[in-house]
Structure 1
Amino acid sequence: MPIDATKRFQSYLDRHASGQEAMPDAERLRQWIADHADDFGAVMECDLKTCPKIVYDFSSEGDVVIGNTSDPAHQTDIMWQQLANANAPVGIGRYREDRVCYQSDQFKTDGEARSQHLGIDLFAPAETPVFAPLDGVVHSFADNNLHLDYGPTIILEHNPEPGIRFYTLYGHLSRESLDGLHKGKAFKKGDLVCRFGNFPINGDWIPHLHFQIIFDMLGREGDFFGAAKPSEWDIWANICPNPNLMLQMPENVTASREGV
């Protein structure tokens, strides 16, 4: 992180250690999002508020496995059959879930894995369109093309009114989603922003969108932490609140503190 962002993050750690909410503006930003819940547009063509869905548990090994050494083609076939059997257009990966697939050295810092999920995953076929939930501009974008990374990624900046600024991240996209982008490119609510990518371009995952809200980019561009150390969860949850504040799914799409 840049020096100023490092200092800012340290201030969040210090505030949390003193019993305060880590990020001073977090409560105000969360409240703004909650107050404007009815104003957000749909991210997908299906209505996430009402459509059937399967909420998956990736905190332990199950029928569908993501990441690690799993075969994304085989796991995709299994998931698509499960969704078809349930007449569900989308599968859900939960916020705050402590995931088995994030336990490898790739996700470890100082010996502790960044294993708790900071976004919500929406599983659907490659090329599924994604729409802007509110007006915004391109903050940054990149093809994070390491194995089990985000793949093509777009981050939008939202300034809906004076004093309110936050970001939304769209990860695991098609490579074509980055075509024609530039910093500052404007999107209106409901505009097509991108499309789901396929493996291996999307980081070699089952096709899905990783959707995340970010209150402080900490100096990063085109990429952001998608999972947090369990020991730092309260700090990161301040920076990246529950995306269901915007998606508004009625199902329980948030794991417990124990991850299950």
Structure 2
Amino acid sequence: MDGDDVAQGEQRLATYLARHANGEDPMPKAAALMRWIIDHQPDFASVLNHDLKTCRKIVYDFSRNGDVVIGGTSDPARQTDLMFAQMAAANAPVGVGRYREDRICYQSPQFKNGGEARSQHLGIDLFLAAGTPVFMPLDGVVHSFADNNLPLDYGPTIIMEHNPAPGITFWTLYGHLSRDSLDGLVVGKAFAKGDELCRFGDYPINGDWIPHLHFQIIFDLLGKSGDYFGAAKPSQWDVWEAICPNANLILQMPEDVTASRDGI
């Protein structure tokens, strides 16, 4: 990524935070982007072979330790077996991790940088077996991609850019992918709605998580390329909610897949 782009992105984030502190809308252009997405919800394709509007799911709570945990010192092999056994018993092909959830697995130094943890989830997680294909919900081009191969990071990651109408530009992020999902990608490569984009990765390639897709909507990349914040500081949530609105605007699951305002 270009250093100037990063510096400009940091300045825009500082502006958003300052506007919010002054009681102003942190990101004024977000309203038009949100309106476009809401107006075109009937047109989006499912990112999975399953119809997320109708298929059975288990919505998990990772704001506290339960029988299924993610990240931290958990054993992804054991937790994968446990989660997928629960899903099979419930005849639920999809597990879901919630938007806005304040997760205990993000309390390690990796997510704190010496200060408040970035612990509040900015995307939605969809849990299925490694190798599950992921499809484009709308037309887009490859903005960037990378293998973010630190433990508890995204692993292979793709960011897609969408320019569906004049003045409307936003991005979607696909994280925890298989390494071969990056094969043949080039910046600017076009994918149409419904095209297969990538596949779910397996541990440890996917950052050492239970196999899942982290799906996120982004209204400002803040100069980032191939990587992006997947969680926010709770004290800054109102600003980050404007930058990264609820991914269920595109996924459209009828279940309650959004944590409460305090992240629980």
- By the TM > 0.5 criterion, same fold? yes
Give the corresponding residue for 1:149: 153
Residue 54 of structure 2 is aligned to residue 38 of structure 1 = no
Give the corresponding residue for 1:16: 20
Residue 261 of structure 2 is aligned to residue 253 of structure 1 = no
Instruction: Write out aligned runs for 1:1-260 (5 A).
Output: 2-260=6-264
| Aligned counterparts of 2:158 and 2:65: Cα–Cα separation in 1 | 30
Residues 125, 212 of structure 2: 8 Å contact kept: yes
| TM-score (normalised: structure 2) | 0.97
* C-alpha RMSD of the superposition: 0.7
Residues 201, 212 of structure 2: 8 Å contact kept: yes
Residue correspondences, number? 260
Unaligned runs of 5+ in 2: none
Unaligned runs of 5+ in 1: none
Q: Which amino acid aligns with 1:193?
A: L
Residues 33, 168 of structure 2: 8 Å contact kept: yes
| Aligned counterparts of 1:59 and 1:238: Cα–Cα separation in 2 | 22
Give deviations 1:2-21, integer Å, cap 9, x for gaps. Answer: 22112111110111111111
Q: Which amino acid aligns with 1:17?
A: A
| Aligned counterparts of 1:130 and 1:109: Cα–Cα separation in 2 | 32
| TM-score (normalised: structure 1) | 0.99
Give deviations 1:73-123, integer Å, cap 9, x for gaps. Answer: 000000000000010110000000000100010000342000000000000
Q: Following TM superposition, where does structure 1 have runs of at least 4 consecutive aligned residues deviating by more than 3 angstroms?
A: none
